[in-house]
Structure formats: C-alpha cells, structure tokens
Amino acid sequence: MTGPGPDDDGPGPTEWTAGAPEVGVGPWEGPWPTDPHYDPELLEHGDRRNVVDRYRYWRREAVVADLDTRRHPFHVAIENLRHDANIGTIVRTANAFLAAAVHVVGRRRWNRRGAMVTDRYQHIVHHPDVDDLVTWARGESLVVVAVDNGPGAEPLESTRLPRACVLLFGQEGTGLSAEAVAGADLVVSIAQFGSTRSINAGVAAGIAMHAWIREHAT
C-alpha cells in the first residue's frame, strides 16, 4: 500500500498515524536501571505502550502486580449471551477506574479490540451463568448491584452504592436477564431524559463505575 497521492484530500483511516508524534518514550538514555521492574527489551527499544508515565519501561507483570496493591473493592460483570460488543469498552473503563476484576457471564469469548490492550492489565474472570457469579459473590461477601432501567429499580443518582460490590450489566439490547435481576441484592437505574428507552451498555457501565468512584475513591 502506498501513501496518499498529490490529488488526495488527506490521509485515510489507515494513514492517520503517518507523521503524527509517537506515543511514549524512546530507548533509555544512560546506564540502565537494575530494578527488576524494568523490561530490558523496552529499555533497549523504547516504550510506546498506552500506559501512564509511572509504568514506563516496566514489565507487564510488574505493572499488574503494582496495580494489585491498590485496586478498588468493586467488580464489574456483564452478561455475554450473544457475544456483546461492549465488553472491550467495559474492560478499558474498568482498568481506568482500577476495578478489582471484570466478570464475563455466559459466553467466554469476547471482542478484545475495544479494550485497547488494557485487558493485559485487568483481571478478567469467566462465569458460565449468573448463578455461578452470584454464588461466587456471596462467598466473597460482595453485594450484587444490577444496573437496569426496569420496574422497581432505585435511582442510581440517589442510591448509596456498597463499597464492596459487583456492578452487573445486561446484554446490549435485551438488558438484564430475569436470572440476573433475581440474583441481585439491589437494582439501580440511570436517569434518562430523552426519547430512547435505554443507553449503550458500555456507557452505562462507565456511568455506574464513576458513581462508585465519586462515592468511595475521592
């Protein structure tokens, strides 16, 4: 493939990175650090990963280990009954808010493209069904909070979220299954003011996670 010609209007989708500043840092300058956190290959060739400066040149295992020392005590779960395309976005947001783990309920496989490689740093657990998730949560003394705009749901905006909990989201389109609602300790809804009856599952997850952060981590 060649680059754009002189008569082209501008770069196409595959050339958006052409000429743009490189992300990250180049090869390490000066004597290499001896701390085992550092990755020799990254030190030699540079670190272009999408990580905060704190973790530049660190081994992936070292990054995960450091994150594990300060993860928040909330988990995120989503039903994956028909290969939900939102899971990658939810994983990426869970990483940003430092959730303890993301739980995929139903189908094990999911599209990782939306995670933007953040799944390498985020614990992801699979459960074959909601009953398995709920049983696990009970064993960990976690409150299961279902997020769904159904009858009887309490407004998220005026509800105090438990500190140790699992935020459970339904499949895009159909929402939470009856089994998920029945297994939840609490059901909350997100206020909406427009004409649509629902919002994107990835967006809903981000709103609920940030609500937890505002209440418990600021």
* Global confidence as pTM: 0.87
**Where in the chain is CATH 3.40.1280.10?**
71-216
Nearest of 147, 155, 150 to residue 209 by alpha carbon: 147
Determine contact, residues 44/27, Cβ cutoff 8 Å.
yes
Q: How far is the C-alpha of 215 from the C-alpha of 43, rounded, in Å? A: 39
Nearest of 99, 154, 161 to residue 124 by alpha carbon: 99
- Within 10 A of 9 (CB to CB), how many other CB atoms are there? 6
The CATH number of the structural domain formed by 71-216 is 3.40.1280.10
pLDDT tens across the length of the chain (218 residues): 333 333 334 333 333 444 556 789 999 999 999 999 999 999 999 999 999 999 999 999 999 999 999 999 999 999 998 877 899 999 999 999 999 999 999 999 998 888 999 999 999 999 999 999 999 999 999 999 999 988 889 999 999 999 999 999 998 778 899 999 999 999 999 999 999 888 899 999 999 999 999 999 97
Provide the CA 2 distance to its chain's centre, in angstroms.
Answer: 36
Q: How far is the C-alpha of 24 from the C-alpha of 4, rounded, in Å? A: 26
Enumerate residues 6+ apart whose C-beta is below 8 A from 195: none
Tell the residue number behind the tokens 């390490």, with chain if given: 28
